[in-house]
Chains A and B, each alone.
Chain A
Amino acid sequence: MTGISDHLVILPILLPLATAILVTLIDDRYRMLRIGISLGATALLVGVALLLVVPTIQVGPSDTELIKSYPLGNWPMPFGIVLVADRLSALMVLVTSILGMATLTFSLSRWYTAGAHFPAIFQLLLMGLNGAFLTGDLFNLFVFFEVMLAASYGLLLHGSGTARVKAALHYIAVNLVASFLFLISAALIYGVTGTLNMADLVVRIPQIAAADRPLLDAGLGLLGLTFLIKAGMWPISFWLPGAYSVAAAPVAAMFAIMTKVGVYALLRLSYLLFAAEAEGVLGFNHTVLFIGGIVTLAFGAIGVLSSQTSMRLASYLVLVSSGTLLATIGYGGVNVLSGALFYLVISTFAIAALFLLIEIIERSRIVGADVLAVTMEAYGEGDEDENEPEHEEAGLVIPASTAFLGISFGICCLLLAGLPPLSGFLAKFAILSSVLEGSVEPGASAWWLMGTLIVSGLAVLIAMARSGINIFWATLEPGAVTARLSEVAPIVVLLVLCIAIGILPAPILAYMEGAATLVNVPGLYVLEVMGPEAAATLARETAQ
Chain B
Amino acid sequence: MELVLAIAIGVLTASGVYLILRPRTFQVIIGLSLISYAVNLFIFSMGRLRIDAAPVITHGNTDPSAYTDPVPQALVLTAIVIGFAMTALFLVVMLAARGFTGTDHVDGRD
Contact = CB atoms under 8 A, between A and B. Distances in A.
Interface residues of B, number: 32
B91 to A, nearest CB: 10
Given A162-B101, A166-B108, A183-B43, A150 B89 contact: yes
Contacts of A310: none
A161 B101 CA distance: 10
B14 interface: no
A190 interface: yes
A157 interface: yes
A150 B85 contact: yes
A92 B94 CA distance: 34
Given A183-B39, A187-B42, A190-B75, A176 B82 contact: no
Given A172-B93, A180-B35, A187-B72, A165 B46 contact: no
A190 B79 CA distance: 14
A337 B94 CA distance: 42
Interface string A163-203: 00110111011001101100110111011000010000000
A183 B80 CA distance: 11
Main secondary structure of the interface of B (DSSP, over half): helix
A429 interface: no
Nearest to A188: B46
Interface in A448-463: none
Nearest to A143: B78
Interface in A119-163: 139, 143, 146, 150, 153, 157, 160-162
Interface in B85-101: 85-87, 89-90, 93-94, 96-97, 100-101
Contact of B35 (A139, A169, A177): A177
A191 B46 contact: yes
Interface in B27-69: 28, 32, 35-36, 39, 42-43, 46-47
A169 B93 CA distance: 6
B42 to A, nearest CB: 6
A177 B32 contact: yes
Contacts of A143: 78, 82
Given A139-B78, A143-B78, A190 B71 contact: yes
Residue of A139, A169, A173 contacting most chain B CB atoms (<10 Å): A169
13 contacts: A139-B78, A146-B82, A157-B96, A161-B100, A166-B97, A166-B107, A169-B25, A169-B93, A177-B32, A179-B82, A179-B83, A180-B36, A186-B43
Interface of B: 20, 25, 28, 32, 35-36, 39, 42-43, 46-47, 71-72, 75, 78-79, 82-83, 85-87, 89-90, 93-94, 96-97, 100-101, 106-108
Interface of A: 139, 143, 146, 150, 153, 157, 160-162, 165-166, 168-170, 172-173, 176-177, 179-180, 183-184, 186-188, 190-191, 196
